Structures are given as C-alpha cells and as structure tokens.
C-alpha cells in the first residue's frame, strides 16, 4: 500500500492507541463515578440516619400518701422510652414493668425512682411516697406504763405508738437498750457489750421491722469459725475442721453485725421513735394493781397511774423481789419465775498488739459457758481484740477475784500460749459485768429450756410480762423466735401489746 493513500498501518496504530486511551479514561471515569456514588450512599446512610429523640422520664402515682397495705399504681407518662426500671425504696426487688403496682408493708417516707431509657439516652425521675399506719380497731382506750427500756419494752412502745395508744416508759438507768449496749471507742470497730450474735438468719432484721427481702440494710458476717480449740484446764486441742463444718451443716446459721451493733439497730428502729416518752432514772419499786387502775411507784416515791402495765425487767430482777407486787403474783407464776435459770455473767474485752489466738476457745465448765473468741472475726479491722464470755460457775469464780480478773485471764492465756498474752497485751480492756448490775442481775435465759406457760400469766389482765425469756424453745427448723435472743424480746413486746388491744 502506497503512502499516498493516507491510510498507513502506523496511522491506524496511532488512532487505535488514542481510542484505547480514551476508552481507558472513560472506564476510569466510570469506576470513579461508581466509587463516588457508593461514598454518597454511605454518607447518606450515616448522616441521614434518624436518631431516636431524648427520653423524658415521667410517672404519676395513684396517691402520694397511703396506708400500710394499700396498693399504689404508678402510671408511666414517659416520652420516647422503650424500657424502664423501678426502685420503690423499700428493699423490694427492682421492677421493669411499664406501669407497675406496689404495696408497702412498713410506715415511712419512700423515694420511688424510675429510670426510663431508649437506645440512645436515659432519664431518671423520682417522687416521695408517704406511708402511714392504719391500726385495726381496738376497744382499748386507756394508757399503758412500760417498765424497762430494753428491746422488749421499746418494741412494745413502738407498737403502742403505731396504734395511737398513750404510753410511758419507766427506765431504771440513764440510757435505753437494757442488755444491749455498745462501745465504739475501744477499737477501730464498734463492740457489742451485751447481746452480740444474730441467732438466726440475717433476714430477721427485716422481718422485725416489717420490711421485705432477705438482705438487711446493714452489712452482716456469717459466723462459722473453723479455727476452734477446746481447753479443759490442762489440755488444749484443736477441734478438727471437718467436725466444725459438719456442725454448721446441721446447725442453724448465725450472723454478727460487721460495722454496726445490735445497739445501733435497736436505737434506729425502736428507741428513737419513742424516746420522747422515756423517763430515765425511774427505778420501779412497787406495782400495785389492786385498784381500778395500776399504780406504779418508783424508788424516789413518784407515783404513776395506768390502765395496764407491761413489765419487761429481767428474770434476775424478778427473782430478786426488788419490785413489790400488790397483791402478790399468783403462786404458779412465782414458781415459774423461780424455775428459770438466769446465770450471772460477764464479758471481758482485751486488746493485743498481735493476734496469737484462734477464732474460738471453748473452755470446760460445770455450769454456764466460758468461751474466748476473736471479737474482730471477719470485721476487716486492724485492732486485735480477744473477748471472754463467761456465765455460771466461771463467773462466780471470777467474782471471788475482785479486781484481779484481768490478771487471772492473762495468766490462763499465758499458760496456753507460752507467755504470748502478757507479751502482746496493750493494757487496754473493758469489763462488762451483767451479773452484778442491779438493773439486770444476770446474763440470759438458756434457749434449751422450755418457757413455762405460767410465766405468761397476766394478773387481773392488768399486769403483763415481756422479754427474751418469753421466747419459744430452741428449734433448729425455726429460729426466728429462739428463746433468750434479741428477736425473742422484740417479738414478745409485740405480742403483749396485741393481747392488751385485742
């Protein structure tokens, strides 16, 4: 082919290359457009997605003031929420219903909190609900005198207060609590000088004040020590751990307060609401129920009149006949009082710079109890405090030593621990003698003894008796009212008020 034709192979190749180049450019542009389109779609998906609006929490209770046992409906008026949680402020379970109903079992002020939420936000709102007591009708319209401001007396007063019945508490000492006392200065944790153990499941702390749930507001310790030894005066031997574990498996559970005491519990839930009606340093000497009303006379000669009297003094005081009953109590009741074993007892607390002792040392004794124990057991404390709980024979022996009790205890511990007690003893101790204190004259009633029915006689239905001694016999299947315990005292106070007002 001649060059003149204008269609040489080189020209074709030139134009073909140009065409291919444009095609490549066009393809690149197409690819770029596809990429740009995908980016636009992605950005639109991200930026154009509609967010859920913010939540506004809102609810309306059917009432803000109600009585114990009334059902309250909480109507939800929240906006933009899809789930909810409700806390009714009474230790009951958290509820997730949209518009729940709730019933309070204890009087008081409760903060109801509701949290409303969706996928993007949450909002919280709360309201106060006030619950009052509506007491069942009672034909009793008189007034009551309570002798003693211990657990039973305070519990009776609490119930009388709730029922709107006039009452007065006459307390022999300058403080409330009876055999429930504490010291919060001796160590870096508070110490129960009297009642110390919770002799049943910890849920009793809720039950006694009408609250639901198994977990009380206060922190507790499951008391199951396994580092336990026994001492018979000569031999000091460890009880095998497997034996202790088997014992706890068959025995009922016990607890102790971790950072508080029985005294704090009694003070907050029973004493404070009724303290305005306590007359302190009013030691009762005579209860005369021979007339239409009962006359209660104190040691200083002051007379008080009442329609009913509730005596909550200890069995030790009743046995001493310090209180003169006119007329005398029924013969059967006197015999029942005399039959109750109410041993003298004391508690000794000693501080040491080092812990050289086990959890518990049980000592052999003819009557009563003699036990050394680590007072700081599982309390996460820095101070080392060893306690001695003594009743019966050992207490009588200590009484013979007068001011040498601490020396005798140190000598016994030195014999067991090769002088470690004296070596680490800081010189600090507390001795609480319940057996010789005139307002108690003893320690506690044995839970193994059956409470005689004659002990509960109410002479002329004017004088009633309450206290830890009036609890039930020990029952490992139901320890909620174990005799000699704090809960037994409280429940007996409730029971006697029911008898008066029924």
Domain ranges of the chain: 59-132
Least confident of 165-169, 264-268, 400-404, 430-434: 400-404
Flag whether pLDDT at 298 surpasses 90: yes
Return the bridge partners of 228, or none.
360
Share of the chain above pLDDT 70, in %: 86
Contact present, 90 and 130 (Cβ < 8 Å): no
Least confident of 20-24, 376-380, 452-456: 20-24
* Alpha-carbon span 332 to 329, nearest angstrom: 8
Determine phi and psi for 427, rounding to 5 degrees: 90, 0
Place of tokens 């005292």: 489
pLDDT tens track for 238-268: 999 999 999 888 877 899 999 999 999 999 9
Instruction: Name every residue whose Cβ is closer than 8 Å to that of residue 465 and which is 6 or more positions away in sequence.
Output: 310, 311, 312, 455, 456, 458, 496
pLDDT tens track for 484-499: 899 999 999 999 999 9
In 3D, which of 113, 144, 148, 152 has the Cα closest to residue 129? 113
Flag whether pLDDT at 42 surpasses 60: no
SS3 115: strand
In 3D, which of 434, 392, 384, 425 has the Cα closest to residue 407? 425
* Alpha-carbon span 93 to 218, nearest angstrom: 17
3-state helix, strand, coil split of the chain in percent (to 5) is: 30, 30, 40
- The first and second tokens of residue 420, run together, are 């470690």
Mean pLDDT of 464-493: 79
Flag whether pLDDT at 73 surpasses 70: yes
Instruction: Name every residue whose Cβ is closer than 8 Å to that of residue 415 and which is 6 or more positions away in sequence.
Output: none
Quote the pLDDT of residue 307: 97
**What would you report as the CA-atom Rg of the chain, rounded to the nearest whole angstrom?**
37
* Alpha-carbon span 458 to 464, nearest angstrom: 5
Share of the chain above pLDDT 90, in %: 73
* Alpha-carbon span 66 to 134, nearest angstrom: 9
Contact present, 472 and 482 (Cβ < 8 Å): yes
Return the bridge partners of 294, or none.
306
Mean pLDDT of the chain: 87
Quote the pLDDT of residue 368: 94
- pLDDT greater at residue 216 or residue 137: 216
Residue 379's Cβ-count burial label (10 Å; 0-12, 13-18, 19+) is buried
Residue 448's Cβ-count burial label (10 Å; 0-12, 13-18, 19+) is exposed
Quote the pLDDT of residue 50: 54
SS3 153: helix
pLDDT band of 51, cuts 50, 70, 90: low
Least confident of 25-29, 285-289, 366-370: 25-29
Quote the pLDDT of residue 379: 95
Quote the pLDDT of residue 26: 37
* Alpha-carbon span 373 to 357, nearest angstrom: 8
* Alpha-carbon span 110 to 291, nearest angstrom: 46
Mean pLDDT of 98-119: 89
- The first and second tokens of residue 324, run together, are 């003169």
- The first and second tokens of residue 43, run together, are 């950005």
DSSP-assigned letter for residue 240: P
- pLDDT greater at residue 67 or residue 271: 271
In 3D, which of 162, 456, 156 has the Cα closest to residue 336? 456
SS3 245: helix
pLDDT tens track for 434-445: 999 999 999 988
Instruction: Name every residue whose Cβ is closer than 8 Å to that of residue 214 and which is 6 or more positions away in sequence.
Output: 201, 202, 203, 206
Contact present, 256 and 220 (Cβ < 8 Å): yes
Contact present, 490 and 204 (Cβ < 8 Å): no
Contact present, 342 and 442 (Cβ < 8 Å): yes
* Alpha-carbon span 396 to 392, nearest angstrom: 6
SS3 33: helix
Segments in 166-228 forming alpha helices (H): 204-207
pLDDT tens track for 80-94: 999 999 999 887 888
Helices 486-501 and 151-163: angle between axes, nearest 10 degrees: 40
C-alpha distance across the termini of the chain, in Å: 134
CA-based torsion, 209, 211, 214, 215: positive or negative: negative
**pTM of the entire structure?**
0.77
Quote the pLDDT of residue 13: 37
DSSP-assigned letter for residue 463: E
Quote the pLDDT of residue 478: 58
In 3D, which of 484, 490, 482 has the Cα closest to residue 446? 484
Least confident of 43-47, 193-197, 396-400, 461-465: 43-47
Flag whether pLDDT at 2 surpasses 50: no
* Alpha-carbon span 461 to 213, nearest angstrom: 37
Flag whether pLDDT at 38 surpasses 70: no
Flag whether pLDDT at 279 surpasses 80: yes
**Domain 59-132 in CATH 1.10.10.10:** no
Mean pLDDT of 182-187: 97
Instruction: Name every residue whose Cβ is closer than 8 Å to that of residue 154 and which is 6 or more positions away in sequence.
Output: 169, 176, 266, 270, 271, 274, 493
Flag whether pLDDT at 20 surpasses 80: no
Mean pLDDT of 137-164: 92
Flag whether pLDDT at 452 surpasses 70: yes
* Alpha-carbon span 221 to 326, nearest angstrom: 47
């Amino acid at each position: 082919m001649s060059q003149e034709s204008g269609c040489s192979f080189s020209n074709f190749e030139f134009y073909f290359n140009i065409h291919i180049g444009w095609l490549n450019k066009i393809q690149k542009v197409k690819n770029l457009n596809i990429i740009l389109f995908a980016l636009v779609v992605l950005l639109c998906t991200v930026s154009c997605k509609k967010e859920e609006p913010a939540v506004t929490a809102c609810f309306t209770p059917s009432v803000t003031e109600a009585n114990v046992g009334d059902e309250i409906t909480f109507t939800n008026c929240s906006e933009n929420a899809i789930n909810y949680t409700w806390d009714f402020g009474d230790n009951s379970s958290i509820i997730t219903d949209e518009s729940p109903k709730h019933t309070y079992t204890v009087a008081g002020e409760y903060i109801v909190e509701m949290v409303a939420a969706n996928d993007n936000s949450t909002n919280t709102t709360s309201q106060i609900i006030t619950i009052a007591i509506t007491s069942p009708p009672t034909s009793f319209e008189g007034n009551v005198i309570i002798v003693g401001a211990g657990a039973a007396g305070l519990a009776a007063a609490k119930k009388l207060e709730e029922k709107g019945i006039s009452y007065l508490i006459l307390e022999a000492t300058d403080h409330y609590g009876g055999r429930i006392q504490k010291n919060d200065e001796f160590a870096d944790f508070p110490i129960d000088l009297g009642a110390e153990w919770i002799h049943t499941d910890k849920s009793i702390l809720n039950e006694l004040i009408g609250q639901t749930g198994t977990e009380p507001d206060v922190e507790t310790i499951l008391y199951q020590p396994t580092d336990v030894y026994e001492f018979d005066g000569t031999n000091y031997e460890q009880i095998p751990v497997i034996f202790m574990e088997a014992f706890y498996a068959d025995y009922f559970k016990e607890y102790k307060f971790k950072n508080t005491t029985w005294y704090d519990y009694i003070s907050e839930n029973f004493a404070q609401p009724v303290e305005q009606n306590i007359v302190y340093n009013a030691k009762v000497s005579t209860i005369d129920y021979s007339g239409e009303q009962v006359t209660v006379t104190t040691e200083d000669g002051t007379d008080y009149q009442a329609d009913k009297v509730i005596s909550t003094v200890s069995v030790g005081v009743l046995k001493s006949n310090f209180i003169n009953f006119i007329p005398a109590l029924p013969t059967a009741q006197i015999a029942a009082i005399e039959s109750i074993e109410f041993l003298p007892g004391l508690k000794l607390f000693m501080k040491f710079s080092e812990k050289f002792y086990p959890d518990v040392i049980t000592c052999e004794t003819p009557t009563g109890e003699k036990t050394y124990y680590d007072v700081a057991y599982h309390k996460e404390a820095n101070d080392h405090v060893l306690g001695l709980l003594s009743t019966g024979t050992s207490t009588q022996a200590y009484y013979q030593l007068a001011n040498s009790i601490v020396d005798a205890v140190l000598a016994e511990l030195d014999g067991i621990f090769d002088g470690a007690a004296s070596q680490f003893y800081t010189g600090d101790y507390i001795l609480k003698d319940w057996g010789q204190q005139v307002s108690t004259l003893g320690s506690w009633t044995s839970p193994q003894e059956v409470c005689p029915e004659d002990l509960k006689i109410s002479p002329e239905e004017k004088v009633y008796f309450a206290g830890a001694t009036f609890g039930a016999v020990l029952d490992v299947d139901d320890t909620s009212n174990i005799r000699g315990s704090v809960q037994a005292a409280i429940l007996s106070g409730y029971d006697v008020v029911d008898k008066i007002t029924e």
